[in-house]
Amino acid sequence: MNNQELILKLQAMDPSLVIEEKQNLTVRVPASSLLALCRVLAADPDLQFDYLINITGTDMGTSYRMAYLLNSTVYQHCLLLHSDLDRNDDANIDSLVEIWKSANFHEREIFDLLGVKFSNHPDLRRIFLDDDWVGHPLRKDYTDEVNIVER
Amino acid sequence: MAIKVDTDHNVSPDSQEFIINMGPQHPSTHGVLRFLLKLKGETVTQIQPHCGYIHRGIEKMCEKLTYPQIIHLTDRLDYLSAHINNEAVCLLVEDALGVEVPERVKYIRTIIDELSRLASHQLWWCAFGMDLGALTTFFYGLRDREKILDIFEQTTGGRLIQSYNVPGGLMNDIHPDFQKNVKEFIKYFRKILPEYDQLLTGNVIFHNRSKGIGYMSREDIINWGVTGPSGRGSGFSCDVRKHAPYSAYDKVVFNESLEQAGDTFARYKVRIAEMWESMNIIEQLIDNIPEGDFAVKMKPIIKLPEGEYYQRVEACRGEFGVHVISDGNKYPYRVKFRSPNFINLSAIEEMARGQKIADLVAISGSLDLVIPDMDR
Amino acid sequence: MPLDIYDFSSFTQWVHQSLDAVMSPFWVITTEMVLVGLAFLTFYAIVGLMLVLAERRICAFMQCRLGPNRVGPWGFFQTIADLIKLLFKELIYIKKADKLLFNIAPFIVIIASFLALAAIPFALGLHAVDLNIGIFYIVAVSSLGVIGILLAGWSSNSKYSLIGAMRSGAQIVSYELSVGLSLITIIVLAGTMQISEIVELQRDGWFIFTGHISAIIAFIIFLIASTAEINRGPFDLAEAESELTAGFHTEYSGIKFAFFFLAEYMNMFIVASLGATVFLGGWMPFHVYGWDGFNAIMDFLPPFFWYIGKTAFIIFIIMWFKWTFPRLRIDQLLTLEWKYLLPINLFNVVLMATLVLLGLHF
């Protein structure tokens, strides 16, 4: 499917979705409905987003933005999902491991470096840093006087 | 990367299971990776990869560096496909700024990409043989890889990590002997590659050790996001060079090597086939490098327009992605590298469960793990 | 008989008589034992050093490189330099290791390999003891080494060592059978277990040629099984450096590690000697029955060189295995023994017995 068809299809599914045409087709999804939407995206025979390429978690200053890049190995179309979370220590979003197993390590990495929690993740532990590490380095307000040298 | 043994791994004395730490210093984890294995005799009942021993915070560092500087950090991710990682950042920047690089640049980039892939697969072949206990493979592979590294050194100045790409083109033009040397190497390696098959591929012990080991079906491999030769060994057509061609890949004819068996031997065969394909690609391009500039003039300070960019390339071990979020500044707001090894590693849990320790070594060898790429 | 000019028994007789003339029989025996012991120690050291060097050069040859070539001519003193390094290295003691067993283990391994040397004939009349059950003795004694390996693995208090030791135990116990049965095949042909007689019987042709197809099968099985028995690649599962870092000797350092290392090479030498003696005629030159002129020419080369040449040939084959094959997995290793080698071997013994009974051998 090309982008136009994808837009039509997605709008037919849920008219409230905010869809932007950028480098990749970008869809804004509220965190609460992400899991439900992803289930549909993965299962719908016309969409078949069976391959989760990447998850990026970003500290946008006022919110945490999760960006999910999906790909269909059948139709070769891509879709970027954006989901904004309130920026606080309890930021929480549904885990996508039940749909795409590849989300496992991505989500652990985001939990480790950004401090976003994923509900229903099978094994949510820090992956790179020590278990007793204080703070989450990819947050913009993270400071570390020892390891980060300001120029 | 907790040092203490996790509490959920406590085993009762009468269960006949025991915990063993494989790594971070271990010959066949190919670096500082640690597996926490639960064993019953020789059989692996549970496996937990622990990474982060060389986590350098490259993504965080990138937030304080300009785009041309970031390129030099991508070298240090997967050091065996350094040139391809460089290219990903360059393509992303050129794409965001709308810069069209000369044809000559595209051709040279593609040729060096494929040479990197050859060198990387040679090193994988060396190490895979060693993992299975065939020590001689190591020296055969390194002998031939040396010739590629010499070509790299001559043209780019670097042997392992080249940093030859800059946004808008290349650092400098190719060496006058580049074409001649590459052609000589291809001629040589076409004769030598069957030797690899004679030494390892046809060996009956090798077949027994690799066939049916670490099986993963096509559906599972897509679901786990395993890409590159490891994914193609299960029939997952995931070659970015085919599906989203960049540089000169749309100008060459090549086959995507696919195997359906999904085991260690299939992944081995895919990589051997890819070496042949890489040579085909290089041969199609090497005589046709167009004349022209080796770079276009870029502004001294590169600022990406505000927005979000993603670039996919096919690195030697799978799909490498760069995700940049820019706020219009000369520094990126956020950079995320989608490193193939990190995701490929997650699947080892599924592949190696219920197999022997020796099989775990074979499986991790067939996934061709490069640790700095995981830990970033 | 031209061979007799190389007979060492006249030399040993002369030593015995000279000693007899000056001291009492008890002291004669004691002195002779000390002399033999010293001779063996020297021989052991020389063979160990040469084999390590040979392995490194041969492996380099197979891997398109040069190997050690800086210390002395052709890297001759490289192993000596290594030995000095190993002597000076720190002996690391492991916490909670079973100290006694940990220290004893390397000695058991090295003593086992030492014992087996006693029964091997190096040349005509050059024999420490000529037991009438010589082959049985060698097989029995050389399998003692596994006790040392098991102890090393157990006492190190390391899981890697333990797995390596367990593998080694399973492996040696299994392959001992095949080595024994392939030797029994030749004992059936020879009708004796005394090694000097076995060599003497090969005066008119080595057993591998006179023993028909059965002896060739036995020789091949012997090569495979003995490679496995001495824990060398492709059967080096007890060490398996890519899986178990170093297997049973992971925790050993310095000279204790060197003992394991040396014992491995000596075991290889013993196995090769045994193979050379039983299948290829030991020190016996290459003879063809009836060709007296040819046989006389062959006799000019001293028996000791024939023996060393044949042993070196088998050692080369064993090294060749190691440097070209990938390693087997433990279950495949046991499958190979119990499902293939053992049945073939049992059949082969029966075949050989039939051949001998019908007089079909040459």
Q: What does the mean pLDDT of chain C come to? A: 83
- Residue B20: list chain C partners with CB under 8 A: 159-160, 163
Q: Which of B204-208, C102-106, C229-233, C271-275 has the lowest mean pLDDT?
A: C229-233
pLDDT-above-90 percentage for chain B: 3
Distance CA B19, CA B36 (A): 7
In this structure, the dihedral spanned by the alpha carbons of residues B323, B216, A120 and A109, taken in order and rounded to 10 degrees, is -30
pLDDT tens string B262-281: 889 999 989 999 999 999 99
CA distances to C31, C32, C34, C42, C194 from C13, in Å: 14, 11, 16, 22, 21
Q: Please state which CATH number belongs to domain B58-375.
A: 1.10.645.10
* Residue B2: pLDDT band with limits 50, 70, 90: very low
Better-scored residue on pLDDT, C233 or C188: C188
Question: CATH: 1.10.20.10, 3.40.605.10, 3.40.50.2300, 3.30.460.80. Which one for A3-94?
Answer: 3.30.460.80
| Parts of chain B belonging to CATH 1.10.645.10 | 58-375
Asked whether the predicted pLDDT for residue B256 surpasses 70, the reply is yes
Instruction: Determine contact: B330 vs chain A, CB below 8 A.
Output: no
Residues contacting residue B10 through CB under 8 Å, at least 6 positions apart: none
What single-letter amino acid sits at A131? D
CB atoms within 10 A of CB B43: 15
Chain B CA closest to residue A72: B222
Instruction: Determine contact: B20 vs chain C, CB below 8 A.
Output: yes
Q: Do A147 and B57 touch (CB under 8 A)?
A: yes
Is B82:B73 a contact under the CB 8 Å cutoff?
no
Is B106:B248 a contact under the CB 8 Å cutoff?
yes
pLDDT at C352: 86
Distance CA A128, CA B372 (A): 12
Better-scored residue on pLDDT, C122 or C342: C342
Mean pLDDT by 10 residues, chain A (151 residues): 74 74 80 84 83 88 87 84 84 86 88 87 85 84 78 67
Task: Write out the DSSP string of A105-150.
Answer: HHHHHHHHHH--EEET-TT---SSS-TT--S-TTSTT---TTT---
Is B317:B340 a contact under the CB 8 Å cutoff?
yes
SS3 A25: strand
- Mutate which: C58, C160, C242, vs B, most B CBs within 10 A: C242
Is C256:C99 a contact under the CB 8 Å cutoff?
no
Domain boundaries, chain A: 3-94
The count of CB pairs under 8 A between chains A and B is: 97
Q: What does the mean pLDDT of chain B come to? A: 86
* Residue C267: pLDDT band with limits 50, 70, 90: confident
pLDDT at A38: 85
Please state the ipTM of this predicted complex: 0.85
pLDDT at B161: 85
Report, as an integer, the average pLDDT of B237-260. 86
* Residue C3: pLDDT band with limits 50, 70, 90: low
Q: Do B225 and A53 touch (CB under 8 A)?
A: yes
Task: Give the one of B60, B224, B323 whose C-beta lies nearest to A102's C-beta.
Answer: B224
- Mutate which: C237, C325, C336, vs B, most B CBs within 10 A: C325
* Residue C65: pLDDT band with limits 50, 70, 90: confident
Distance CA B243, CA B245 (A): 6
Q: Do C242 and B139 touch (CB under 8 A)?
A: no
pLDDT-above-70 percentage for chain B: 96
CA distances to C196, C197, C203 from C288, in Å: 20, 18, 9
Report, as an integer, the average pLDDT of C268-281. 87
What does DSSP say about strands B17-22 and B34-40: parallel, antiparallel, or unpaired?
A: antiparallel
CA distance C164 to chain B (A): 10
In C96-174, DSSP assigns E strands to none
Is C270:C53 a contact under the CB 8 Å cutoff?
no
Beta bridge pairs of residue B169: B166, B295
Report, as an integer, the average pLDDT of B173-186. 88
pLDDT at B4: 47
pLDDT tens string A89-131: 788 888 888 888 888 888 888 888 888 888 888 888 888 888 8
What single-letter amino acid sits at C184? I
Residue C76's Cβ-count burial label (10 Å; 0-12, 13-18, 19+) is middle
SS3 B202: coil
Task: Give the one of C64, C240, C325 whose C-beta lies nearest to B143's C-beta.
Answer: C64
A5-24 b/e (C-beta count within 10 Å ≥ 16 → b)? ebbeebeeeeeebeeeeeeb
pLDDT at C361: 66
pLDDT tens string C302-331: 778 888 888 999 999 988 888 888 888 888
Instruction: Answer positive or negative: Cα dihedral of B347, B349, B350, B355.
Output: positive
Asked whether the predicted pLDDT for residue B184 surpasses 80, the reply is yes
Is C157:C100 a contact under the CB 8 Å cutoff?
no
Better-scored residue on pLDDT, B149 or B12: B149
Chain A CA closest to residue B51: A128
pLDDT at C5: 66
DSSP H or E run through B94: helix B82-97
CA distance A29 to chain B (A): 17
CA distance B268 to chain C (A): 15
CA distance B153 to chain C (A): 23
Asked whether the predicted pLDDT for residue B162 surpasses 60, the reply is yes
Chain C CA closest to residue B135: C323
Is C284:C303 a contact under the CB 8 Å cutoff?
yes
Report, as an integer, the average pLDDT of B348-359. 86
